[in-house]
Amino acid sequence: MSSGALTHQLRLSGWALLATLGTCLALGPLFEDRRYLVHAGGLLLLAILTGATLRALNANRLLVFVAQVAVAAEIAVLAYTESLLPTPTAVAEIRDGYVRFAENAQMYTAPMPTDASTTMSLALIIVAIGLVVDLIGVTYRRVPLLGLVFLLVYMVPVAQLAGDVSVFSFVPGATAFVFLLAADERERLTHWGRQIAMSGQVWTQAYSAVDDSGLRQSRYRIGFGAVALASLLPFVVPSIDPQILFDGGSGGQLDGNDGGLDVENPVLDMRRNLSSQTDEVLLRIQTDDPEPGYLRLAALDRFTGDEWSVGSRTTANAVDTGGALPGAPGRVASVLNVGRDYEVQVTDALRSDWLPVVYSPSRVEVDGDWLVDETHFDIRGDDGQDDSSGLRYSFRSTVADPTQDQLQFAPDPPSSVAQFTTLPSGFSPEIRELTEQVTGNATNGFSKALALQQYFRDPANFEYDLAQADDGENGEEAIEDFLLNTQVGYCEQFASAMAVMARVEGIPSRVAIGFLRPSESPDGWQEFRGEDMHAWPELYFEGVGWVRFEPTPASQGAAAPNFDAGRADDPSATPTESLDPNDTQTTRVQQDPFQPNRDDDPAAGGDADAGVWGVLRIILVGFVLLGALAVLPRTLRESRRRRRWSSATTPAGAAEAAWSELRDSMVDLRLPWDDRDTARHLGRSLRVRIDERRRAPVLTGPTTEQAVQALNTLVVAVEQSRYARTPTAVPGLQEAQRTVVEAITDTQPLSVRRRGIWLPRSVLRRPGTDRSHSRARGQVAGEAVLLLRD
Amino acid sequence: MREALSALTTRGRAFLAAGFTVTLCALVLGFDALLRVGLLAVALPLLAAFVVGRARYRLSAQRTVSPQRVSPGQPATVSLSMANEGAMPMSLLLLEDHVPYALGTRARFMLDRVGPRWRQQVNYPICSEVRGRFQIGPLSIRVSDPFGFIELVRYFRETSDLVVVPVVHALDRIALEAAWTAQGENRPRAFAVGSAEDVMTREYRRGDDLRRVHWRSTARVGELMVRREEQPWQSRATIVLDSRRIAHRGSGAASSLEWLVAAAASIAVHLSRSGYSVRLVTDRPDPEANAWHDRLADPQVQAGPILDELAVMSVSERQGMHYAVDAVAGSAGLVIGLFGALQGSDVADLARMRAHGSSVLAMILDTSAWDDDDSSKASPAARMVGALGQHGWNAVVADPYESPAATWTRLGAVARHGARTGRSA
């Protein structure tokens, strides 16, 4: 191996290493720090040098790979364990670290805190990826295949973060991959042969000093250009909403019109339902709860300033409904619970990704993959695969019944719920001011919350009107407008305004979306209809957990939670129990800085559900279109044939029709046909083709003799039609034409025949041009004859 | 651009297809991150096609091969003169001059960034170990992008020929004159005897036209000398080559035909150097069988057409030697027959040749020596020598263990002996 080849290998390996690390950079948002990249880089570098050395010695390819794995393993053992060699204990140590990492990965939502075991495991995973990349790309020289490997790696964060991977984690990997491709191709190009230089100097050693400045220039141009295009185009062209694509726009129109309600974004659907006041029954329940209501679909936990929205839900932070559900967050054992059982029938009209339950469910029995979010206790179909239409399920909820003392003397909320008090920076000072006025001299969180609720429920302050409310707005401006100017709105405005004001006061809050109150049907079931959709705020009090409030005025018929009526508790009573902030039931919640931006746009829809439907629909439409497109040419050809024969009424017309038909058939078969040629001459060349059949015995179709005879008939007929003064009718032209075509088709290979049927080239020609042309010539010939006679 | 797109390689097509699929999926699912991957895969080949398609290529190329006729093992040089006729600079070009495998390795060149009015000459050597006529070219140009997505191939039409003539052995001068003095005509004279002027003059004889007197020679010699214009040298030799498949054994460079071809080439060169007009006759019909290659004075050049013919000589499917006999029968002069395995029926044909020729010599191959299986059998070639001898042929048996030069020397001895016997007979 020459030094040039070694250089090339190192170049290839280097780019492969960079591409691996660059792609793994996209994993970054999943973890808290990125030390593992450095670890992996070091390990991979050594493995790659091993590979390059062995390849330079022309070692067997598999041996190279095995040696690389061995080197990487040895160094990993040295780096991560006490022992010097990969002894069983060292391997077990590493394995334990990996198991710890896997457990953590199950437990935490992104970004995961990184400890030593995480760094080690990630580094080892990346090294494994890098070794596979080196094997495929450098040892086996299949660089384009690596695109798939990198795509796989890249898909991990994309899937975990619901597609929200920063462009900066895309660019390094993509650039390195592009240059890896170029490095591979560079070798092929520069090994092509001697280079002829500009200066007239000719290098005889092909590998030594290849000047590839021009190549490099276009490599940079194309490579950086493509990466830039790929990074920037998605910003310019926002991803198209599948809803708009397939539903013809969703301008506030209720989906229930075409047979149901699709719930993806619960806010949006509540708006639609309330504004249209649909009375379609969406679900029916049976329960031992005397006053059923407040079935929650989802909690909107994130307030961005533009709107309240469903924050990111990751599978890591959820448990399957099949398993045991954790206790409600923040609620301690001393709080009185009332267990209620519910039986639910969802009608076909409600296609929701979210399962309506009463807070907080302790047991859910349902078919399909449904995940209970441990923080919000809303239940969501796994990966949007399941929707709720037609579903029957049952659940048991423990409804908290806290004493007022427990609420009054709730300690400050722990940092784990800090995310529920965040307000956008520069939040409206007017709202802050108003909040202070309303809460006035209330001393604790619960009193403040009650003051807020009372403020909203006072008919002197606000008016409930569904029609006059700003449609579909719960952002900062809309709330400000609602609070300070219009003071007219419906549950959404009330709920979101109260939640915002609670946050101003530092009380963790969120907005729950669901169903308010059922009506009883004759058969004893309680029915929820579209018009029953509702929004209400939930506020968090340490020790009690999330407590529902009802700011929407009573005119709407919703009673405020009973505690605000003041339960007959001894006001002097001390808190029954000191509440342990480190209660085991508080779920660890990690701040998620990578909030999906797409959720900001309610129309974008965060779920793949409609996407899958859309894909199916697009595929179906595509198939139909493709099918239609496929049969179009032969249909055109067929219709032309029919028209031709039907329009051939005169003897001359019939002969010309037969001839044109023959011409078209030959053109379809991609056989030469010159329109300027005489019929006799063309006939002779066709005769040659027919005679080819004599070489092999004909088993099916017309015999060669029949074909020749038919051809003669055709030629005579067309000559008569063109040159005779009064052409006589020749019978059986159509059969004769068919016989000839069949005989000639026989001699063609199958592929040509198929093409002749499915892609007839003759349809590209304008019909009629040939005939008028030949007829005109016939007339000229006739005139010439006349002149000569004179 | 469209042209470049139609020249997409498999890699380019794969990237485009995968990219479109991923882009579509990303759009439908609304994944921006995936969209980037798809766009990258689409953008790479499209940009490459754009960059390649944007450049305009107008390259001219001219090829010269020198020498155009070489003997086996003798190198020749092909030189390509290339120029950029367009005003635009060109990006990476891969050139390949098509060279038959027998002539050496592929002639491949790489041109990176060629400016306007660029002009360059590239040489590469070719060399063949076997005789034949080889076509060099056409020159192909590939335009590629740095990622291997596009490969445009264009061909120049022009091709050149290289003729590799058979091996020519240096032959001894054998006293063929001995055989011809008896004939009284067709007297070749070696140039070594004197200058060309000497060759062209003779003594004045009574009756010679005075206007023919060559005064300068007269002054030098001291006697009246005249130019011999009315009697050009008529020393003609016909080489009859037997190329029938039935007459030969073996294949490739070790076949018996190769030995005969080498012998024919050596004899043709030798005789033309010795002043003969030489022609080659084979068992094939040849309209130019009577063309004597004596037009040019340079013996090397004179033997050229024969060598060209011998370079591409291959076996024929004919059974008899009628054409050769007919061609020889029309003229007189020295006839040298080079025969493979002769059949009994051939003897009569060869006898007819003798009837017209003045002197006939033959090498008859002992083809069984080329045939591994047949080596035990008694050689029929020796019998043929006897049979032809009865018809006046002076023949020797040739075998692969002897070079044509040695056989030629032996033939010379036999011819001298035969001439002597012929004279005594």
Q: The complex's ipTM? A: 0.70
Contact B37 A194 (CB under 8 A): no
Alpha-carbon span A159 to A312, nearest angstrom: 12
Contact A213 B115 (CB under 8 A): no
Q: Return the percentage of chain A with pLDDT > 90, whole number.
A: 5
For residue A292, give the nearest of A127, A515, A485 by alpha carbon: A515
Q: Could you tell me whether strands B236-241 and B334-339 are parallel, antiparallel, or unpaired per DSSP bridges?
A: parallel
Facing A233 at nearest CB: one of B39, B47, B145 = B39
Contact A155 B41 (CB under 8 A): no
The enclosing domain of B255 has a CATH number of: 3.40.50.410
Alpha-carbon span B105 to B3, nearest angstrom: 31
Facing A611 at nearest CB: one of B15, B30, B44 = B30
Which of A686-689's residues contact partners 24+ apart within 8 Å by CB, and which partners? Answer: A686/A711, A686/A740, A686/A744, A687/A711, A689/A744, A689/A747
Q: Are residues B241 and B319 in the same domain?
A: yes
Task: Specify the pTM.
Answer: 0.51
Q: Which residues contact A284 (CB under 8 A, 6 or more apart)?
A: A344, A345, A347, A518, A521, A525, A526, A527, A528
Average pLDDT over residues A583-609: 36
**pLDDT attached to residue A179:** 92
On whether any CB of chain B is under 8 Å from the CB of A200, the answer is: yes
Alpha-carbon span B228 to B242, nearest angstrom: 37
**From the CA atom positions of chain B, what is the Rg in Å?**
32
Question: In this model, does residue B297 exceed pLDDT 90?
Answer: no
Q: Are residues B363 and B254 in the same domain?
A: yes
Last residue of a domain, one of B232, B258, B292: B232
**pLDDT attached to residue A787:** 32
Sorted by where each begins, the domain ranges of chain A are 3-194+207-236, 261-401, 629-789
Query: Of the spans A328-337, A406-415, A685-694, A710-719, which averages the highest pLDDT?
Result: A710-719
Of A83-87, A734-738, B93-97, which range is least confident? A83-87
On whether any CB of chain A is under 8 Å from the CB of B44, the answer is: yes
Contact between A384 and A612 under an 8 Å Cβ cutoff? The reply is yes
Question: In this model, does residue A242 exceed pLDDT 50?
Answer: no
Alpha-carbon span A315 to A109, nearest angstrom: 8
In this structure, is residue B25 part of a structural domain? yes
Q: Where are the beta strands (DSSP E) in B57-118?
A: 59-66, 69-70, 76-84, 93-97, 107-111
Q: Are residues B249 and B345 in the same domain?
A: yes
Question: In this model, does residue A670 exceed pLDDT 50?
Answer: yes
Tokens of A659: 């001839």
Contact B29 A605 (CB under 8 A): no
Q: Are residues B370 and B280 in the same domain?
A: yes
Question: In this model, does residue B100 exceed pLDDT 50?
Answer: yes
pLDDT tens digit sequence for B243-293: 888 888 888 878 888 999 999 999 988 888 877 778 888 888 876 666 665
The Cα of A249 is separated from the nearest Cα of chain B by a number of Å equal to: 15
Facing B36 at nearest CB: one of A147, A164, A170 = A170
Q: Are residues B362 and B381 in the same domain?
A: yes
Using a CB-CB cut-off of 8 Å, the residues of chain B touching A241 are 30
Chain centre distance of CA A423: 30
Using a CB-CB cut-off of 8 Å, the residues of chain A touching B41 are 147
Tokens of A211: 């000047």
In this structure, is residue B34 part of a structural domain? yes
Q: Which helix (H) or strand (E) holds A644?
A: helix A608-647
Mean pLDDT of chain A: 75
Using a CB-CB cut-off of 8 Å, the residues of chain A touching B27 are 239-240
Question: In this model, does residue A774 exceed pLDDT 50?
Answer: no
Alpha-carbon span A172 to A224, nearest angstrom: 11
Cα torsion A217, A220, A223, A225 to 10°: value is -100
A579 or A686: which carries more pLDDT confidence? Answer: A686
Q: Are residues B246 and B340 in the same domain?
A: yes
Question: In this model, does residue A178 exceed pLDDT 90?
Answer: yes
On whether any CB of chain B is under 8 Å from the CB of A231, the answer is: yes
Q: Could you tell me whether strands A281-287 and A354-355 are parallel, antiparallel, or unpaired per DSSP bridges?
A: unpaired
Question: In this model, does residue A344 exceed pLDDT 60?
Answer: yes
The enclosing domain of B108 has a CATH number of: 2.60.40.10
Facing A182 at nearest CB: one of B18, B36, B147 = B147
**pLDDT attached to residue B374:** 54
Alpha-carbon span A684 to A682, nearest angstrom: 5
Q: Are residues B35 and B70 in the same domain?
A: no
The Cα of A6 is separated from the nearest Cα of chain B by a number of Å equal to: 20
Using a CB-CB cut-off of 8 Å, the residues of chain B touching A202 are 122
Question: In this model, does residue A206 exceed pLDDT 90?
Answer: no
In this structure, is residue B174 part of a structural domain? no
Which residue of B21, B37, B112, B139 to mutate against A (max A Cβ within 10 Å)?
B112
What amino acid occupies position B312? V
Alpha-carbon span A117 to A94, nearest angstrom: 8
Chain B residue with CA closest to A159: the answer is B31
Question: In this model, does residue A204 exceed pLDDT 50?
Answer: no
Of B165-174, B244-253, B371-380, which range is least confident? B371-380
Alpha-carbon span A590 to A87, nearest angstrom: 37
Q: Are residues B156 and B245 in the same domain?
A: no
Where in the sequence is the domain holding B208, given as residue range(s)? 189-232
**pLDDT attached to residue A570:** 36
Of A272-276, A707-711, A785-789, B338-342, which range is least confident? A785-789
pLDDT tens digit sequence for B301-319: 667 888 888 888 888 888 8
Alpha-carbon span A270 to A490, nearest angstrom: 11
The Cα of B318 is separated from the nearest Cα of chain A by a number of Å equal to: 29
On whether any CB of chain A is under 8 Å from the CB of B291, the answer is: no
Q: Are residues B384 and B260 in the same domain?
A: yes
Q: How far apart are the first and last CA of chain A?
A: 91
Using a CB-CB cut-off of 8 Å, the residues of chain A touching B43 are 225-226, 229-230
**pLDDT attached to residue B175:** 63
Q: How confident is the model at residue A227 (pLDDT cuts 50, 70, 90)?
A: very high
Strand partners, A489: A464
Domain count, chain B: 4
Q: Are residues B45 and B73 in the same domain?
A: no
Q: Which of residues 234-273 of A touch B (CB under 8 A)?
A: 234, 239-242, 245
Contact B29 A192 (CB under 8 A): no
Tokens 């007297």 map to which residue?
B187
**Cβ-based neighbour number of residue A458 at 10 Å:** 11
DSSP tally for chain B: helices H, then strands E: 13, 17
On whether any CB of chain B is under 8 Å from the CB of A19, the answer is: no
Question: In this model, does residue A350 exceed pLDDT 80?
Answer: no
Alpha-carbon span A12 to B146, nearest angstrom: 14
Of A147-161, A206-220, A751-765, B55-69, which range is least confident? A206-220
Cα torsion B310, B316, B319, B324 to 10°: value is -30
pLDDT tens digit sequence for A496-550: 888 888 888 888 888 888 888 788 887 878 888 877 778 888 888 888 888 888 8
Q: How confident is the model at residue A294 (pLDDT cuts 50, 70, 90)?
A: confident
What amino acid occupies position B286? D
Average pLDDT over residues A480-503: 83
In this structure, is residue B177 part of a structural domain? no
On whether any CB of chain B is under 8 Å from the CB of A165, the answer is: yes
For residue A600, give the nearest of A368, A302, A380 by alpha carbon: A302
Q: Which of residues 27-56 of A touch B (CB under 8 A)?
A: none
Average pLDDT over residues A672-691: 85
**pLDDT attached to residue A464:** 79
Q: Are residues B255 and B394 in the same domain?
A: yes
Question: In this model, does residue A115 exceed pLDDT 50?
Answer: yes
Average pLDDT over residues A461-473: 69
Three-state DSSP state, B330: coil
B114 or A639: which carries more pLDDT confidence? Answer: A639
Last residue of a domain, one of B232, B264, B286: B232
**pLDDT attached to residue B44:** 93
Q: Are residues B245 and B226 in the same domain?
A: no
pLDDT tens digit sequence for B175-184: 664 344 333 3
Q: How confident is the model at residue A168 (pLDDT cuts 50, 70, 90)?
A: confident
Of A73-82, A350-359, B306-315, which range is least confident? A350-359
